[in-house]
Amino acid sequence: MKQICAYVCLLLLAASGASSAARAQDRSQGRSMVTTRYGIVSAESPLAAQAGAQTLARGGNAIDAAIAANAVMGVVEPMMDGIGGDLFVIVYDAKSGKLYGLNASGWAPQGLTPEFLKSKGVTKMPSFGIDSVTVPGAVDGWSKLLSRFGKLDFQQDLEPAIRYAREGFPVPEWDAAYWASAASFLAKDPETARLYLVDGHAPAVGEIFHNEDLARSLEQLASGGRDAFYKGEIAQKIVEFSKSQGGAMTAEDLADYSSEWVEPLSTQYHGWTVYELPPNGQGIAALEMLNLMQQFPLAQYGHNSTDALHVMIEAKKLAYADLRKYIGDPKFSKIPVAGLLSDDYARDRAKLIDMSKANCDVAPGMPPAGDTTYLTAVDEQGNMVSLIQSNFEEFGSRLVAGGTGFALQDRGALFNLEDGSPDVLAGHKRPLHTIIPAFMSKGDVRIAFGIMGGFNQAQAHAQFVSNIVDFGMNIQAAMEAPRFTKATFGGCDVDVEDRIPPDVRAALAARGHLVRADGDFSARMGGGQVTERNFATGVNFGGSDPRKDGEAIPEPPPHP
């Protein structure tokens, strides 16, 4: 009898286990979170994430890991980022429990003014070419991060990137597609074509790509630090190239540049504190969106329901109208930051959201006075880095200073020539920036996250936060969940992923939204990475967006 009971009990246990396993797989997310007590690096390339994880294993901390991963990203995804671009970072220091923001966005050359452009017959800010080039801030940003928080040095942190640049790497799927779409304009400049095209064509999936010039530039940084970039041979090559192209960059523009430590902005969203960096970035728009969304019961509406999406789309329009009106370089114009983030302002602006119809002509409010890569790292001690870095558009200005191995960014394209605008071009002014790292916390939980994609970013941040807070998703599910994006500032057009049900899309259209359905995991929605730390348990979590080639990779445990 005992044997029969034992057999039946085993069957019941097995059935229970099978049922539990079935329930565990009955979910919408495609992959699980990475979970470990050691560190995690999440990046858009597994090679970059692995380099960061190995840096942790060699004794580096999250800051070293982030720099190592970022440097590799500049090698393996040169169309999106690299040492010719800018950088923004939020660092959580576990020892002090404090957040630190770093704005490493570059300024316009002193001589790049509206008058300079008009003397050349230019009446609109160029999107590409030498007059779109601003001083690259990334290397100075790395230097400041290392000197304040790092455990290793440039030589150690840049070693994986130097190796990949010299030995080559097989091009992955997404990057091969980006490269192929850029081939026609890459061919227009001889040096750019020589560097980025192989026998006149973009490298295909799995084709090995080498960049000896970039390896040499990185070796100069490894031995000479930030001055090798801003005062050494690299700077000389950039200045000589700019002069040959009729540009305004001088040696002083590079030598005098310095990134800045800044205080992150924050807002409260249903008990969570959400952090973004202050202007000249667009992060304040994400916080304003959350303040507007908080005026509505999104959790009751249901995830990606018609009402929830309508509120978020309308909140995006209101927040971005303010972004366009008020945000620029705070050294050149007074920005009503406190007013834009005030509760009273959110309540007033939220009254403009009509639940029955879309607003196709949203104006900025009157607040009271007062292509890109993202990666994140967390280490065993709980230090966390939220880092975003970019050339702006694919391959930046589409220009390469001979022998440097990297494209110069085109961030200057975000200036304009309109008198009175917060973003009117001026020498040593920083443009409005699209790239924004983010952070959120509640109790013992800290989450570092970011989602790239131009002006998609602030609206994607707000959706990610809502997925976590309103709908109880874990970080991987929240990153994978279907998103919308509105690329324009005016009108009622909006893109949604076609995982959002057809009846919801039809209901949005009935309210006046001009809905376009994209693919299941559309590149229009940007790609993100995320890490989480539970300080009560000492456990780290990592997630990676399937909209990119990336991965969250854990630090290997120490050898016995």
Nearest 5 degrees, angle CA 50-CA 527-CA 98? 70
R_g of the chain, CA atoms, integer Å:
24
Q: Residue 549 and residue 320: Cα distance in Å, rounded?
A: 29
Tokens of 535: 């300080």
**Sign of the alpha-carbon torsion through 97, 471, 452, 31:** positive
DSSP bridge partners of 531: 448, 542
Q: Residue 378 and residue 539: Cα distance in Å, rounded?
A: 10
Q: Is the pLDDT of residue 121 over 90?
A: yes
- Please state the rounded mean pLDDT for residues 197-222: 96
The predicted pLDDT at position 18 comes to: 40
Residue with the bigger pLDDT between 285 and 24: it is 285
Q: Residue 467 and residue 161: Cα distance in Å, rounded?
A: 35
Long-range contacts, stretch 46-51, CB < 8 angstroms, 24+ apart: 46/549, 46/550, 46/551, 46/553, 47/72, 47/76, 47/164, 47/169, 48/72, 48/73, 48/76, 48/375, 48/550, 49/375, 49/544, 49/550, 49/551, 49/552, 49/553, 50/553, 51/160, 51/161, 51/164
Rounded to an integer, what is the distance from CA 181 to the centroid of its chain? Answer: 21
Q: Is the pLDDT of residue 24 over 90?
A: no
The predicted pLDDT at position 367 comes to: 77
Ranges assigned E (strand) in 211-307: 260-262, 265-269, 272-276
DSSP bridge partners of 92: 99, 384
Q: Residue 373 and residue 454: Cα distance in Å, rounded?
A: 11
What does residue 41 show for φ and ψ, rounded to 5 degrees?
Answer: -125, 130
Can you list the alpha helix ranges (DSSP code H) found in 294-409?
298-301, 306-326, 337-340, 343-350
pLDDT tens across 150-169, in order?
A: 999 999 999 999 999 999 99
User: How much helix, strand and coil, in percent to the nearest 5, is found in the chain?
Assistant: 40, 20, 40
- Please state the rounded mean pLDDT for residues 353-366: 92
- Please state the rounded mean pLDDT for residues 181-198: 94
Ranges assigned E (strand) in 146-229: 169-170, 208-209
The predicted pLDDT at position 26 comes to: 65
Identify the DSSP state of 331. T
Q: Residue 172 and residue 543: Cα distance in Å, rounded?
A: 19
The predicted pLDDT at position 27 comes to: 75
Residue 369 pLDDT class (50, 70, 90 cuts): low
**372 belongs to the catalytic site:** yes
Candidates 455, 394, 400, 453; CA nearest to 181 is: 394
Residue 6 pLDDT class (50, 70, 90 cuts): very low
Q: Is the pLDDT of residue 402 over 80?
A: yes
Mean pLDDT is lowest, of 224-228, 290-294, 556-560, for 556-560
The predicted pLDDT at position 371 comes to: 60
The widest CA-to-CA distance across the chain, in whole angstroms, is 100
Q: Residue 131 and residue 411: Cα distance in Å, rounded?
A: 10
* Catalytic one of 134, 372, 434, 485: 372
SS3 of residue 62 by DSSP: helix
Question: Are 480 and 29 a contacting pair, CB within 8 Å?
Answer: yes
- Please state the rounded mean pLDDT for residues 215-226: 97
The predicted pLDDT at position 368 comes to: 62
Tokens of 257: 């540049």
Question: Are 283 and 335 a contacting pair, CB within 8 Å?
Answer: no
The predicted pLDDT at position 398 comes to: 95
The predicted pLDDT at position 366 comes to: 76
Question: Are 138 and 83 a contacting pair, CB within 8 Å?
Answer: yes
pLDDT tens across 506-558, in order?
A: 999 999 999 999 999 998 999 999 999 999 999 999 999 999 989 999 999 88
CATH class of the region 32-105+256-390+423-560: alpha beta
Q: What is the DSSP string of 463-514?
A: HHHHHHHTT---HHHHHHS--EE--SSSSSEEEEETTS-HHHHHHHHHTT-E
> How far apart, in Å, are the Cα atoms of 160 and each of 154, 377, 441?
11, 16, 32
Q: Which amino acid is at 285?
A: A
Q: Is the pLDDT of residue 13 over 50?
A: no
Q: Is the pLDDT of residue 189 over 80?
A: yes
pLDDT tens across 243-264, in order?
A: 999 999 999 999 999 999 999 9
pLDDT tens across 443-491, in order?
A: 999 999 999 988 999 999 999 999 999 999 999 999 999 999 999 998 9
Mean pLDDT is lowest, of 103-107, 418-422, 462-466, for 418-422
DSSP bridge partners of 553: 41
